[in-house]
Amino acid sequence: MKSILIIDDEIGICESVKLILDYEGYETDYATSGKEGLEKLNENEYSALLLDIQMPEMNGFEVLKKVKNQFPFISVIIISAHGSLENAIKATKLGAYDFIEKPIDREKLVISTRNAVDKSALLEENVEIKKSLLGDGLILGKSNIIKDILLMIEKVAPLDTRVLISGENGTGKELVARAIHNQSKRKDKPFIEVNCAAIPNELIESELFGHEKGSFTGASQQRIGRFELAKNGTLFLDEVGDMSPQAQAKVLRAIEGGKIERVGSGKKIEVDVRIIAATNKNLKEEIAKENFREDLYHRLNVIPIFVPPLRDRVEDIPILINHFVNDITSRYNKPLVKFAKDAIELLQSQKWSGNIRELRNVIERVIIIIDKQFVDKNDLHFLFPEVTSSVDDLMLKSNTFQDFKEKTERAFILKQLNNNNWNISKTAKQLDIQRSHLYNKIKKYGIEKGDGNG
């Protein structure tokens, strides 16, 4: 369940907001001072924070600064009776996700909270990918394709040309975008990211271009869009293939004219931004399906960069393993772990559908669960349970492909539960799913303690 923290010195506000969010299915807690709120943040995990500005002892801006420094993945929504444009801009510059004016509009609160929670989840999901590709500011790898990417970054970074980065999820497209920005003449200016897949279609235009107060239901105040926030810097349009047709048309006009319009306003605003886009989709296929504008594709695709899946750069896996081992053992205060040649070869033979993030998760599981300083191939059997050696049996016992998939999944989950002595929390963490999701799977497949291997 997603957890929300409210920090407001008015207990009536806390309780009314809690009532609304509890009804929407969130687990909600509150604090009536900045100090108490920071203590709760240190003790518990939250997906989003609703924060008042005017509070005694420590105001909301002071709390916001501390939160962004200590808890960078928590999306913060400012709630205030002092809904001035100045406060909204200041909150945005300090890292606030949104700004809601009191009295709080219920619909606006629900929509903003949902989007803030989604953003936090995406940030947490992507952080391991960022760590996995970057080591001391360098993209890791010795493969020719990685060398080519580094050379391309070096060539295009000093220019303002637009770049389109493509590749599967988990390959590190955002890191390539950041590397381009960090080596450009705009490196001291903002790098503003918009995840087009995470923002509902009805809100994407507001996110990109901003809106005027009253321009739509829930627009209780003026909002500055990402184009304006990226002034003189870089705007990164992540998963651009998921952008709505209406937003595509406006982005095209912004690129062509160097001007935007906030939703609900006819005023033109000049914007000077460098645009880098990324996608996990084949945009030529999306154009053929009429899901993506061909003219926008050609505007974005001045310099194409393809980031390969991990299975196509297996020679980089030993380097990545070494980096992960150093990082994970340091974080958990464990002795260094060495992987034998046969263990590395086994890892190099895998498909890695989750790419670099999946590899990092596997190395972390090995370090925590195996708890040995020398890991060989035999130690990795728990990663690849008997389900792989009994595929023929499962196929013979299955009437349909769906039946085969379910039996395979049941066997895999049961194996991990038995390995962990039916510790649900430990197993859920190892499988990289929520405990509630694991409970649902156990119930669905009728898995019981004492079962065999499926």
Domain 3-124 and domain 139-308, same fold? Reply is yes
Tell whether domain 309-384 is in CATH 3.30.420.140: no
Residue type, 186: R
Contact between 304 and 166 under an 8 Å Cβ cutoff? The reply is yes
The single residue listed with the structure tokens 């952080």 is 127
User: Can you tell me whether residue 52 is helix, strand or coil?
Assistant: strand
Is the CATH number of domain 385-454 1.10.10?
yes
Report the distance separating Cα 450 and Cα 137, nearest Å.
48
Q: For residue 139, give every residue at least 6 positions away whose Cβ sits within 8 Å of its Cβ, in sequence order, or none.
A: 133, 146, 149, 150, 172, 175, 176, 179
CA 261 to mean position of chain CA atoms: 28
Q: Is pLDDT above 90 for 450? A: no
% of residues, the chain, pLDDT over 90: 41
Residue 232, helix vs strand vs coil: coil
Cα–Cα distance between 299 and 314 in angstroms, integer? 33
What percent of the chain lies above the pLDDT cut of 70?
89
CB 52 within 8 A of CB 8: yes
Locate the domains of the chain by residue range. 3-124, 139-308, 309-384, 385-454
Which candidate, 376, 375, 452, 366, places its Cα nearest to that of 415? 452
d(CA 194, CA 227): 10
pLDDT tens track for 28-37: 999 999 999 9
Phi, psi (5° rounding) for residue 97? -80, -40
Per-residue model confidence as pLDDT tens digits over 319-343 = 999 989 998 998 888 889 999 999 9
Asked if residue 127 has pLDDT above 70, the reply is no
The pLDDT tens digits for 157-195 are 999 999 999 999 888 898 899 999 999 999 988 999 998
DSSP 232-283: TSEEEEETGGG--HHHHHHHHHHHHHSEE--BT----EE---EEEEEESS-H
Most confident of 143-152, 371-380, 385-394: 143-152
Mean pLDDT over residues 48-62, rounded? 90
Question: Tokens in use for 145?
Answer: 């394709």
- The yes/no answer on whether domain 3-124 falls in CATH 3.40.640.10 is no
Listed residue (425, 427, 385) closest to 409, CA to CA: 385
* Residue 166 exposure: Cα atoms within 13 Å on the Cβ side: 14
Angle at 283 between CA 120 and CA 126, to 5 degrees: 20
Contact yes or no for 133/172 (Cβ under 8 A): yes
Cα 131 to Cα 137: distance, rounded to the nearest angstrom: 10
- Is 90 exceeded by the pLDDT of residue 18? yes
Alpha-carbon dihedral of residues 193, 195, 199, 203, nearest 10 degrees? 40
Measured in whole angstroms, the distance separating CA 227 from the mean position of its chain's CA atoms is 20
User: In the predicted model, is pLDDT for residue 384 greater than 70?
Assistant: no
CATH 1.20.120.1200 fits 139-308, yes or no: no
SS3 state of residue 326: helix
pLDDT at 124 over 70: no
Task: Identify the burial level of 392 via C-beta atoms within 10 angstroms of its C-beta, where 0-12 means exposed, 13-18 middle and 19 or more buried.
Answer: exposed
Angle at 352 between CA 309 and CA 136, to 5 degrees: 65
Q: What is the pLDDT of residue 436?
A: 80
